[in-house]
């Protein structure tokens, strides 16, 4: 068993199930169980000389306290170690360093880079039912939108610029559902009598 000073904690998780299991007990046994849980969770002190009911309750609760203590200790060390899977190398992960500033210096550079990504452009054209030349025009209009709205604050990444563009497209342009061979409906000015139902 660890020394009391090594196991000292400032807090622990007390589950509702602990309370529900204990709250119907007699007050003296309830106090024994609460004290046993608290001393074990905070100081690692295993209770001795508990009454049989209190000992039974503590025995049922102790595994939960042990799991939470292990999680707490692992968290202090940086978390759980990656699992080794047979035949696969273990990849060490680390917190990503802050991203460097973008390689482009203007909204025009952002859009130029977006225009070169045909894998992205084609689905966008399909989504908004436009051709590549119309997409180019809308990307150019997007540059003006960004200059006005973002006040020369470039997007953090091209991915963010693409998301902003598609969001802007949904708001700035409507998707035309009409088929090319369908004629627009003309206004119907047929006189149906009366004064619009007010007669």
Domain boundaries, the chain: 16-77, 107-172
What are phi and psi for residue 181, nearest 5 degrees? -90, -5
Inter-axis angle of helices 118-128 and 132-149, to 10 degrees?
Answer: 90
Full-model pTM: 0.39
Nearest-angstrom CA–CA distance, 181 and 100: 50
pLDDT at 177: 44
Q: Determine contact, residues 46/34, Cβ cutoff 8 Å.
A: no
**Token duo for residue 159:** 């991915």
Helices then strands, counting H and E runs in the chain, come out as 7, 0
Rg, Å, the chain Cα set: 34
**155-161-162 Cα angle (round to 5):** 165
**Token duo for residue 68:** 């939470």
Nearest-angstrom CA–CA distance, 94 and 103: 24
pLDDT at 152: 73
Render each residue's pLDDT in the chain as its tens digit; 199 residues. Answer: 444 446 688 888 888 988 988 989 999 999 999 999 999 989 989 998 999 999 999 999 999 888 888 888 877 777 666 666 666 665 555 555 555 555 667 888 888 888 888 888 898 888 888 898 998 999 898 888 888 887 778 888 889 989 988 888 888 876 544 445 555 556 666 666 666 555 4
**Token duo for residue 187:** 């206004």
């Amino acid at each position: 068993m660890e020394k009391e000073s090594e196991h000292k904690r400032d807090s622990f998780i007390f589950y509702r199930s602990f309370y529900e299991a204990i709250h119907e007990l007699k007050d003296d046994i309830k106090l024994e169980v609460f004290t046993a849980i608290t001393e074990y969770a905070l100081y690692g002190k295993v209770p001795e000389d508990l009454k049989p009911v209190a000992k039974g309750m503590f025995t049922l609760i102790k595994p939960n306290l042990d799991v939470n203590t292990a999680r707490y200790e692992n968290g202090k060390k940086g978390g759980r170690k990656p699992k080794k899977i047979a035949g696969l190398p273990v990849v060490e992960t680390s917190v990503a360093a802050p991203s460097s500033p973008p390689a482009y210096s203007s909204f025009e550079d952002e859009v130029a880079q977006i225009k070169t990504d045909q894998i992205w452009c084609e689905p966008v054209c399909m989504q908004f039912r436009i051709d590549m030349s119309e997409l180019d025009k809308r990307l150019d209009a997007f540059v003006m939108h960004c200059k006005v709205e973002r006040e020369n604050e470039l997007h953090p990444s091209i991915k963010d610029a693409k998301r902003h563009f598609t969001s802007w497209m949904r708001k700035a342009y409507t998707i035309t559902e009409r088929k090319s061979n369908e004629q627009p409906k003309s206004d119907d000015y047929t006189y149906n009598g009366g004064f619009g139902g007010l007669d």
